[in-house]
Amino acid sequence: MRILLTGASGSIGAALAPALTDSGHDVRGFGRDPARVPASLDFVRGDAITGAGLDEALDGIEVAYFLIHSMEGDGRAGFEASERAAAENFAAAAGRAGVRRVVYLGGLVPQGEQLSRHLGSRLEVERILLASLPEAVALRASIVIGARSRSFRFMVHLVERMGVLPLPPWREHRTQPIDARDVGAFLLAAATTPHAAGGLSLDIAGPDLLTYGQMIERIADLMLVHRRSLRFGRNATTLVAPIAAAVAGEDTGFIAPLMESLASDLLPRDDRAAGLFGVRLHRFDRAVERALREWESHEPLAAR
């Protein structure tokens, strides 16, 4: 099968590319910078936000992965406008090329709560793709546990670099983090699933339900360090986000929307995805242990 993979240089796409190739698919990459992907990958240079290169990239493609996220914006507009433009351009180009199936990875959304900018944008992209393509598959995930996952790396860096962990009220909100290996298995199966006629939106989640505070505490335990937590009652994301970003060596434009999304429970609508796609889920501790081993094979962790 001829497959287009956008976001091939990201944490999810970089792992998905060899899995697709090993499964016998013919994979083509698309993005702004070919230097960030393996030289062996067929690649078309372009920009989904402007639409440049999309028609060439989608020519002859049977399934396309839309793994484009623009949390920090692109300098031309806020990230919401950038993500909407990219989705609209991609859907239009896929339609012109006769592509029926696009696979998208978005985020879990709170039930009955106001959406953050980040999650609202992810949901808008999903709506655009599902409305435009007859066999679109949208998967929604919470925090991905993997050595290259930015949200996981953010939590690890906080544990690594702070002796006391300040935990605002969102520490009590719950979610179901998912192993990066399981995300890859869902994405791989989504290319050929027979369940996508008329479009399909599924929540994918790990088997463990944890509060954000428990997640951070478990990560500290698995890193073999002790960290005291300072629990306070005021949710001061605008004040805390720049400090947390500086400590973790991250961009505030990424951390602030991410922290805004922690303001409520993020739980799956149901648990049918694993059965439909035949994915065996990994427990949280196993996912963290594997991610930390992979991390340490490339760079040291000071807290260990």
Could you report the per-residue pLDDT of 32-58, keeping only the tens digit for each?
988 888 888 999 999 999 999 999 999
- Can you give the pLDDT at residue 234? 65
Range of lowest pLDDT (123-127, 138-142, 258-262): 258-262
Q: Would you state the pLDDT for residue 114?
A: 83
Note the CATH architecture for domain 2-144+179-204+267-280: 3-Layer(aba) Sandwich (3.40)
pLDDT of 205 > 60? The answer is yes
pLDDT tens digits along 63-99: 999 999 875 544 445 789 999 999 999 999 999 999 9
pLDDT one-digit tens code per residue, 1-36? 999 999 998 899 999 999 999 999 999 999 998 888
Exposed/middle/buried for residue 51 (C-beta within 10 Å: 0-12, 13-18, 19+) = middle
Using the predicted structure, report yes or no on whether residue 304 has a pLDDT greater than 60.
Answer: yes
Mean pLDDT of the chain: 91
Residue 233's pLDDT is: 66
Cβ-based neighbours of 229, under 8 Å, separated by 6 or more:
164, 165, 166, 167, 171, 213, 216, 217
Amino acid at site 221: D
Q: What is the pLDDT of residue 111?
A: 87
Q: Higher confidence at residue 30 or residue 229?
A: 30
Predicted pLDDT of residue 235: 65
The pTM of the full predicted model, rounded to 2 decimals, is 0.93
pLDDT digits (tens, 9 = 90+) for 230-258: 777 666 677 778 888 898 888 888 888 78
Q: How confident is the model at residue 108 (pLDDT cuts 50, 70, 90)?
A: very high
pLDDT at 74: 43
Residue with tokens 């434009």: 253
DSSP 112: S
Residue 276 has pLDDT above 60, yes or no: yes
